[in-house]
């Protein structure tokens, strides 16, 4: 069948360990199905900075542009924290998102009943939770100008600009409404329209776009209340849509509903649903290199890739099912269990073993 070109960007810290598991999974799929996946890897983040002096070498960027889909592990770590912000590992991620125009970031938070007890919330509040946070990823305060630290009146001032154009808001609104149509048709837009003009515009544009989707119920919520509601009664939500920084913060809250940030995958999509697939978590320097990281967020990100970019929803479902079976069998990494936990590599092996059973 058609060749799919996949670019693997392991990055730093546990990014390397979890990408090893993703690669094992992809090679297994290549060897045991009719799919034809062409895998290549490139440098990104601190690893790229150490070898080339830049966190995003031009070669990596051009390979990413040519690929059908990109998988990213994680970037960053204490080793690079004192570098100038322009060459920090995180800059590579921001530039990839921006250059590839990956404006729509989907972060599903799903809790299977067997994991409900791993959450820091009461099990009944999160059991069977299935919410989706849609985060605008290439605008907002992350990218607005002016930005920087300037001299002003004999002291330094730091400036970032929270900016959204109507067209940027409209395109993420369409993704949000269309996605809500495929689910529970409840869309909650999160803003700070009581204080910030930029999100007043956000709210107006969402209300306009809503007229094209009469079957979706649109509600609006202020971000401070949304943070509270997410831990008070998370199942009240179906799809939540918000700007870049609010989405960053709310998705880490949502991660904890699932028991661990090591469980949360994400898809970062452009207008044609080409995409980069990345766990929500970072490089976890505190556990890096110890075979302790939970690889499931990465493996579930591979599932999202099959669904959104490779048009192979069947393989997305198979991977998700293999992960669920592994959890049902009782396998847990250290972030999900105090005792009898398995390492990163064994967790990956179990998922692949279950996938093998599902394919037969």
Least distance CB 76 / ligand IPM (angstroms):
6
> Residue 82 CB, nearest distance to ligand NAD (Å)?
12
b vs e for 136-147, b when ≥16 Cβ sit within 10 Å of the residue's Cβ? bbbbbbbbbeee
> Is residue 286 a known part of a binding site?
yes
Rounded to a whole number, what is the distance in angstroms from the first to the last CA of the chain? 20
Residue 105 makes CB contacts below 8 A (sequence gap 6+) with 134, 135, 136, 137, 247, 266, 267, 268, 269
**Which positions touch ligand NAD (CB under 6 A)?**
14, 74-77, 90, 93, 261-262, 278, 281-287, 293-294, 297, 335
Do 271 and 138 contact (CB within 8 A), yes or no?
Answer: no
Closest CA relative to residue 193, chosen from 240, 243, 135: 243
Q: Which is nearer to ligand IPM, 269 or 342 (CB)?
A: 269
Site track for ligand IPM across 108-137, x = CB under 6 A? ------------------------------
The verdict on 94 binding ligand IPM (CB under 6 A) reads yes
Among 48, 134, 230, 280, binds ligand IPM (CB under 6 A): 280
- Measured from the CB atom, is 52 or 337 closer to ligand NAD? 337
248 part of the interface to Mn ion, by CB under 5 A: yes
- Check the annotation: does 342 bind a ligand: no
Q: Which of 50, 68, 90, 114 binds ligand IPM (CB under 6 A)?
A: 90
Count interface residues toward ligand IPM (CB under 6 A).
7
Binding range to ligand IPM, per CB under 6 A, among 57-65, 87-95, 122-130, 197-205: 87-95
Give 303-307's long-range contacts (Cβ < 8 A, gap of 24+): 303/265, 304/106, 304/108, 304/265, 304/266, 304/267, 304/277, 305/6, 305/69, 305/71, 305/267, 305/275, 305/277, 307/267
Per the annotation, does 327 bind a ligand? Answer: no
Piece of the chain touching ligand IPM by CB under 6 A; list 86-94, 114-122, 198-206, 321-329 = 86-94
> For Mn ion, which is the closer residue by CB, 57 or 279?
279
For ligand NAD, which is the closer residue by CB, 75 or 180? 75
| Residue 190 binding result from ligand NAD, Mn ion, ligand IPM, none, given CB thresholds of 5 to 8 Å by partner type | none
Q: Which listed range, 40-48, 93-101, 104-112, 244-252, lies at the site for Mn ion (CB under 5 A)? A: 244-252
Look at the block and give the residue holding tokens 């100038």. 84
Dihedral in degrees, nearest 10, Cα atoms 91, 97, 103, 108: -90
**Counting contacts by CB under 6 A, is residue 168 touching ligand IPM?**
no
Of 93, 104, 216, 241, which one interacts with ligand IPM (CB under 6 A)? 93
Does the annotation list 81 as a binding residue? yes
On whether the CB atoms of residues 135 and 247 are closer than 8 A, the answer is yes
Residue 278 binds to Mn ion (criterion: CB under 5 A): no
Tokens matching residue 347: 């967790």
Residue the block writes with tokens 């090591």:
262
What are the residue numbers of the active site?
142, 192, 224, 248, 252
| 14/281 Cα distance (integer angstroms) | 10
**Nearest 5°: phi and psi at 144?**
-70, 150
Name the binding residues for NAD(+).
Answer: 77-90, 282-294
Enumerate binding residues for ligand IPM (CB under 6 A): 76, 90, 93-94, 248, 280, 282
Enumerate binding residues for Mn ion (CB under 5 A): 248
């Amino acid at each position: 069948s058609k060749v799919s070109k996949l670019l693997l960007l392991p990055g730093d810290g546990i990014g390397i360990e979890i990408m090893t598991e993703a690669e094992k999974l992809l090679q297994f799929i290549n060897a045991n199905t009719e799919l034809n996946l062409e895998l290549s890897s490139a440098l990104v983040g601190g690893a790229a900075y150490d070898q080339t002096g830049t966190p995003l070498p031009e070669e990596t960027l051009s390979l990413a542009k040519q690929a059908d889909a990109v998988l990213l592990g994680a970037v960053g770590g204490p080793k690079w924290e004192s570098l100038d912000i322009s060459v920090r590992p995180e800059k590579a991620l921001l530039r990839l998102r921006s250059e590839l125009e990956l404006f729509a970031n989907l972060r599903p938070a799903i809790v299977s009943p067997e994991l409900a007890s791993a959450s820091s919330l009461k099990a009944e509040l999160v059991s069977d939770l299935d919410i989706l946070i849609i985060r605008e990823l290439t605008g907002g305060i992350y990218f607005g100008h002016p930005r920087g630290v300037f001299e002003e009146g004999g002291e330094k001032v730091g400036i970032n600009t929270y900016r959204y154009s109507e067209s940027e808001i409209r395109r993420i609104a369409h993704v949000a409404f269309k996605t809500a149509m495929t689910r529970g048709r409840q869309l909650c837009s999160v803003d700070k329209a009581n204080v910030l003009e930029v999100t007043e515009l956000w709210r107006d544009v969402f209300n306009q776009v809503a007229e094209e989707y009469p079957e979706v119920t649109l509600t609006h919520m202020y971000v401070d209340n949304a943070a509270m509601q997410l831990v008070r009664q998370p199942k009240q939500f179906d799809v939540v849509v918000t700007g870049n920084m609010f989405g960053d913060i709310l998705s880490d809250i949502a991660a904890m509903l699932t028991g661990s940030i090591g469980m949360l995958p994400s898809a970062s999509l452009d207008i044609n649903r080409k995409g980069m697939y990345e766990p929500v978590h970072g490089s976890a320097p505190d556990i890096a290199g110890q075979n302790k990281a939970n690889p499931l967020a990465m493996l579930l990100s591979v599932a999202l890739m099959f669904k959104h970019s490779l048009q192979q929803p069947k393989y997305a479902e198979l991977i998700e099912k293999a992960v669920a079976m592994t959890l049902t069998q009782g396998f847990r990494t250290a972030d999900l269990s105090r005792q009898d936990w398995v390492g990163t590599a064994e967790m990956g092996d179990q998922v692949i073993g279950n996938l093998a059973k599902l394919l037969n």
